[in-house]
Amino acid sequence: MENKELINDINNNVNEYIRNIKENIDEKKALVITHGCQMNEHDSEKITWLLEKMGYDFVNEVEDADLIILNTCSVRHSAEDKVYGQLGNLKNLKSKKKNIKVAVCGCMMQREESRNYVIEKFPNVDIIFGTNNIWKLPELLKSSYDGKKLAMDIEDNPLSIDDALGANRLYNFKSYVNIMYGCNNFCSYCIVPYTRGRETSRRPHEIIREIEELAKNGTKEVTLLGQNVNSYGKTFDDKFSLANLLEEINAINGIERIRFMTSHPKDISDELIYSFKNLDKLCNFLHLPVQAGSSRVLKMMNRKYTKEDYLRKIDKVKNVNPNIALSTDIMVGFPGESEEDFLDTLDLVKKVEYDTAFTFIYSMRENTPAARMDQVPDKVKHERFERLLDILYPIQERKNKAFIGRDVDVLVEDFSKKDESNVSGRTDEFKLINFKGNKSDIGKILKVKVKDANSFSLVGEKIES
Ligand code: 5AD
Ligand code: SF4
């Protein structure tokens, strides 16, 4: 059977389960709790899309929910511990409110060890599904309502099935779009290649079709997602790269901003770097995880570039587009990291001058090569972490303050968290900015004058047009 026919067939099947739940189950209040990265956030949007089709309403408190879904992350130990804590609390809730259903999905369920631990320690879990089986949720719910003790599916199903699902996007004006799945890099500290499997790229025409549809429905900004988007297309027989894909998306009417993440420094090509000059819709923002500044540590991490290679790429990016804002992921306390290695990280941070950074303390993940290396004591890791922030924050503040007095374009996303008479949004450079505004501003791209700034955000004033 053709792939398309197969998907149609499966969709009919899914629709049958959806109808069944919609018609036969009365108590339908759901809460989806998402841990981890944008990939998970987007998966949760697919989950809520399915739930809405089944007639579920959404609540914010576990006590009000009839169905609780935990979409989990495995990247760090603390993320897993958080899920175990939540499952422990739900155990108590379930002893009071018998008919609630608890489902667990995401990266943790792709790992046999974590999955078995959940099954053994938390018999209150009713449903388990993997990262490629979101479309199975209606069927699993049905078997659970029919009395199955644990309804589970973590088989490696063809990815295109989940791609065929819609997504209940949090904002219709900005959307995540998956362009590839999995990772082939096997960085020695990372669990992702074991949970999300090998790299596979989605075909360009499918991606373009999805984005055209999104644009018709009001999406102005798309963020292309993948663990290593720079190797997009490498699995195709014909030559088609991320730069080619960006060019096609740049031509779509209605799309005004394009972002992508995450990149790998070893795979970022000159062709892609030049896209930051040639494509008017590609935002002035690049997230390029460095992880560490010491070439010795980078080698132990299996990152396949040196400190000098990385700095050369950054120089090239800055030369091609002097307005680009730079972001990164940095890890401290990787096994064997010496004081000298750590000083290399601080040196790199000072040289690059990041606009923003995600900072992590190395967390040992079982069965990864780094778990077998000599670990750095916790105290040293924490102390280095603080020293890293002491260097990063003043740089961020200086870079943000350089925006004071400038007029920037802001995609307004929501009311400000702290003050409802303010709205907040992102500049082209992905800087968070707050300013006086109202509901009608949300979803628009507005001109704003920057009045003030600190390490984490800007404050502005709307320019009346
Ligand atoms: N410990 C700490 N941080 C990690 N990351 C990935 N694996 C680990 C780990 N074992 C970080 C990396 C990656 C980001 C998504 O998470 O910096 O880029
Ligand atoms: Fe993990 Fe490295 Fe792959 Fe990123 S590139 S997902 S850090 S293995």
- Output the pLDDT for position 286: 98
Q: Would you place residue 465 in the very low, low, confident or very high pLDDT band (cuts 50, 70, 90)?
A: low
CB burial readout 190-220, b (16+ within 10 A) else e: bbbbbbbbebebbebeebbebbbebbeeebb
* Cα gap 438→422, rounded to integer Å: 7
Token reading at 343: 């000083």
**For ligand 1, what atom is nearest to the CA of residue 262?**
18
Q: Is the CB–ligand 1 distance for residue 385 below 6 Å?
A: no
* Cα gap 459→451, rounded to integer Å: 6
Q: Is the CB–ligand 1 distance for residue 291 below 6 Å?
A: yes
Is 105 known as a binding-site position?
Answer: no
226 CA from centroid of ligand 2 (Å) = 10
Is 37 known as a binding-site position?
Answer: yes
Q: Would you place residue 167 in the very low, low, confident or very high pLDDT band (cuts 50, 70, 90)?
A: confident
pLDDT digits (tens, 9 = 90+) for 249-283: 999 999 999 999 999 999 999 999 999 999 999 99
Q: Is the CB–ligand 1 distance for residue 289 below 6 Å?
A: yes
Q: Is the CB–ligand 2 distance for residue 227 below 6 Å?
A: yes
Q: Would you place residue 12 in the very low, low, confident or very high pLDDT band (cuts 50, 70, 90)?
A: confident
- Output the pLDDT for position 420: 79
Q: Is the peptide bond before 262 cis (omega within 30 degrees of 0)?
A: yes
pLDDT digits (tens, 9 = 90+) for 50-85: 999 999 999 999 999 999 999 999 999 999 999 999
262 CA from centroid of ligand 1 (Å) = 12
The full 3-state SS of the chain, as one line of letters, equals CCHHHHHHHHHHHHHHHHHHHHHHCCCCEEEEEECCCHHHHHHHHHHHHHHHHCCCEECCCHHHCCEEEEEECCCCHHHHHHHHHHHHHHHHHHHHCCCCEEEEEEHHHHCHHHHHHHHHHCCCCCEEECCCCHHHHHHHHHHHHCCCCCEEECCCCCCHHHHCCCCCCCCCCEEEEECEECCCCCCCCCCHHHHCCCCEECCHHHHHHHHHHHHHCCCCEEEEECCCHHHCCCCCCCCCCHHHHHHHHHCCCCCCEEEEECCCHHHCCHHHHHHHHHCCCECCEEECCCECCCHHHHHHCCCCCCHHHHHHHHHHHHHHCCCCEEEEEEEECCCCCCHHHHHHHHHHHHHHCCCEEEEEECCCCCCCHHHHCCCCCHHHHHHHHHHHHHHHHHHHHHHHHCCCCCEEEEEEEEECCCCCCEEEEEECCCCEEEEECCHHHCCCEEEEEEEEECCCCEEEEECCC
Q: Is the CB–ligand 2 distance for residue 192 below 6 Å?
A: yes
Cα–chain-centroid distance for residue 21? 30
pLDDT over 90 (residue 128): yes
Higher local confidence (pLDDT), 179 or 156: 179
The pick from 76, 81, 229, 376 for probing ligand 1's pocket by mutation, whose C-beta has the most ligand atoms within 8 angstroms, reads: 76
- Mean pLDDT of all residues in 113-124: 94
pLDDT digits (tens, 9 = 90+) for 300-330: 999 999 999 999 999 999 999 999 999 999 9
Q: For residue 226, with 0-12 CB atoms within 10 Å meaning exposed, 13-18 middle and 19 or more buried, which class applies? A: buried
Q: Is the CB–ligand 2 distance for residue 70 below 6 Å?
A: no
pLDDT digits (tens, 9 = 90+) for 361-385: 999 998 999 999 999 999 999 999 9
The pick from 74, 110, 184, 190 for probing ligand 2's pocket by mutation, whose C-beta has the most ligand atoms within 8 angstroms, reads: 190
pLDDT over 80 (residue 161): no
Q: Which ligand is nearest to the CA of 304?
A: 2
Q: Which ligand is nearest to the CA of 289?
A: 1
Token reading at 7: 């998907």
pLDDT over 80 (residue 160): no
Q: Is the CB–ligand 2 distance for residue 188 below 6 Å?
A: no
Backbone angles phi, psi at 411, to 5 degrees: -85, 110
- Output the pLDDT for position 196: 86
Average pLDDT, the chain: 93
**For ligand 2, what atom is nearest to the CA of residue 228?**
5
pLDDT digits (tens, 9 = 90+) for 188-217: 999 999 988 889 999 999 999 999 999 999
pLDDT over 70 (residue 6): no
186 CA from centroid of ligand 2 (Å) = 6
Q: Which ligand is nearest to the CA of 292?
A: 1
Is 107 known as a binding-site position?
Answer: yes
Q: Per DSSP, what are the bridge partners of residue 68?
A: 31, 102
Q: Which ligand is nearest to the CA of 365?
A: 1
